Amino acid sequence: MTWEDIAAFLEQGEGQSVEFEKSIPSEDDIARDLVAFSNADGGKIIYGLDDKNKHLVGVEVNGNFDDLIKSIGKNRCTPSIIVSLETVEKADKSIILINVPEGVDKPYRCDEICYIRDGNVSRPAKENEVKELTNPWSGKGLNRRQIRAMQMLAEHASITNREYRQAFNVSHKTAHIELTLLVDQNLLTTEGAGRSTRYILVASPEE
């Protein structure tokens, strides 16, 4: 990440996938934002910038800040959230960027509260919003593509290797491996052979 990248985020402003903080907030606030972004499509939290006035403020951190943030993701968030951090130097000031991935085991919570990203705000989710986040295939070791494929299959009942490739822009080999793993877990079964093979949903998780 370069200063030019940071400046582009600053120009874009806070929103669904970006949060700015002039200083490093409390651990409670950090955990809340990690959960909210994980329950959304992921995002970036940037410390050391005043996005309202477009000013570079910078932050001072001690040597174990990286460990602190990762500990918050691991111990304060349920399920655990694994993040990565980057430091960008500009005009002798440090900017810290936290990369938060989209979660595959939604809904995520901290202090038993499920937070979601609502525009540029992280707020508690309403009951119906928590239900929409709930992933019936969580805890099965599936990656993001496989989870989305299962969601597609809940509506369309079957998928081919070609359809999987087109949906997720992956190679034939990757599609084959990931679909085969779903078959191995008895989530899908197959019909046909070769290029005409269709992968069919065995049953929805509620059944």
pLDDT at 105 (0 to 100): 86
3-class SS letters over the chain: CCHHHHHHHHHHCCECCEEEECCCCCHHHHHHHHHHHHHCCCEEEEECEECCCCEECCCCCCCCHHHHHHHHHHHHCECCCCCEEEEEEECCEEEEEEEECCCCCCCCEECCECEEEECCEEEECCHHHHHHHCCCCCCCCCCHHHHHHHHHHHHHCEEEHHHHHHHHCCCHHHHHHHHHHHHHCCCEEEECCHHHCEEEECCCCCC
Percentage of the residues of the chain whose pLDDT score is greater than 70 = 97
How does 172-183 read in b/e, with b if 16+ C-beta sit within 10 Å? eeebeebbebbe
For residue range 13-32, what is the model confidence (pLDDT) as tens digits? 899 999 999 999 999 999 99
How many structural domains does the chain have? 2
Question: Which CATH number does the domain housing residue 129 bear?
Answer: 3.30.950.30
Task: Give the span between the Cα atoms of 31 and 159, in whole angstroms.
Answer: 38
Q: Are residues 38 and 109 in the same domain?
A: yes
Q: Are residues 45 and 109 in the same domain?
A: yes
Q: Are residues 42 and 127 in the same domain?
A: yes
pTM higher than 0.85, yes or no?
Answer: no
What range defines the domain where residue 24 resides? 3-133
Question: Which CATH number does the domain housing residue 195 bear?
Answer: 1.10.10.10
On average, the pLDDT of the chain sits at: 90
Nearest to 146 by CA among 120, 177, 178: 178
